[in-house]
Amino acid sequence: MRFQIYTRNEHEPPHVHVHLPDGEVVVILEEAVQAVILRDAARNVRTVDVARILAIAEDHFETLIAVWSYYNR
């Protein structure tokens, strides 16, 4: 899986795209409560993979929000 933050004046709210062989998951980085929220997942992405992605995003929240903010604010 590959976490990607686009740098072309991405729209709010802060989020990260996660690419997998079976599709893509988009995770919202909710700054106010320092939590991650599933915004969208490709239909063929397994539930176990979504749970793993959310756990990774939560563990690396500060880094992800810092990178998103650097390129998009």
Give the separation between CA 48 and CA 54, rounded to whole angstroms. 10
- Residue that the structure tokens 């991405």 belong to: 10
* Banded pLDDT at 73 (limits 50, 70, 90): confident
Tell me the pLDDT tens digit for each residue of 41-60: 999 999 999 999 999 999 99
CB 19 within 8 A of CB 2: yes
Q: What is the mean pLDDT of the chain?
A: 92
pLDDT at residue 9 tops 80? no
* Banded pLDDT at 8 (limits 50, 70, 90): confident
- Output the pLDDT for position 16: 95
**Domains of the chain by residue range:** 2-72
